[in-house]
Structure 1
Amino acid sequence: MINWDQVKQLEEDIGAEDFGDIVVVFIEEVDEAVDALREITSMGDDDMATALHFLKGSAANLGFADFAASCGAGEDLANKQQAAEVDLQSVVALYDASKSEFLTGAPVHTSYQP
């Protein structure tokens, strides 16, 4: 679910001091975007593709591998004019599970202490 090698590489690249700030900003921004998805019952293809592209990129940067893949698959559907086929509830549930795993595992794998 979490690519801890990616997470550790990011921490090494930006430094342990700044890593915590990056995590906080990531969670705030992605929480906001995911909360918007929680409220949506339907979304146009272009809007869906844009939203999922943002989430995919953010997730990949912080090692949320499964969530990034799910967003990428949804983005692909939306780009094919099939946004109605995207299971937003599954995308949101996967984010919630990934976030929980990250916050539980981060103190073990990184210097970050939630």
Structure 2
Amino acid sequence: MINWNRVRELRYEIGPEAFEEVIDLFLEEVETGIDDMSDGMGVSERREQLHFLAGSALNLGFAAFAELCQAVERGQRTAQTEEIRTCYARSRAEFFANIGKAIAA
């Protein structure tokens, strides 16, 4: 669900303080992005939103969430906004449950 190698790599690249800022910004932008997305929005607009969400997720190692967003964006599968929100919530929970030991490794 989380690509811990990517998480450690990003933290190493930007440092611990900036890493915390990136996490905060990521959470804010993704949660706003999901809230702004609706099942009734246009196909093009929805794809753009999914592309943004997937890119943000890949940057912070949210692999499962990114994969879902990419698959829906590309039309390889369908997902309602609530399924996307649930996948993000699970990824977020796993991230915070394991970040301490992941960055200590």
Q: How does the TM-score come out when normalised to structure 1?
A: 0.83
Structure 2 portions without partners, runs of 5+: none
Matching residue of 1:13: 13
Cα deviation digits, residues 52-111 of structure 1 (max 9, x gap):
00000000000000000000001101xx9x9xx433221111001001111111122127
SS in 2 for 1:41: coil
Partner of 1:108: 101
Task: Report the identity percentage.
Answer: 37
Q: Name the structure 2 match of 1:23.
A: 23
CA distance in structure 2 between the aligned counterparts of 1:50 and 1:16, rounded to whole angstroms: 31
Residue 35, structure 1, aligned to residue 35, structure 2: yes
Quote the RMSD (CA, aligned, Å).
1.8
TM-score for both structures, normalised by structure 2: 0.90
Aligned length: 104
Moved over 4 A (4+): none
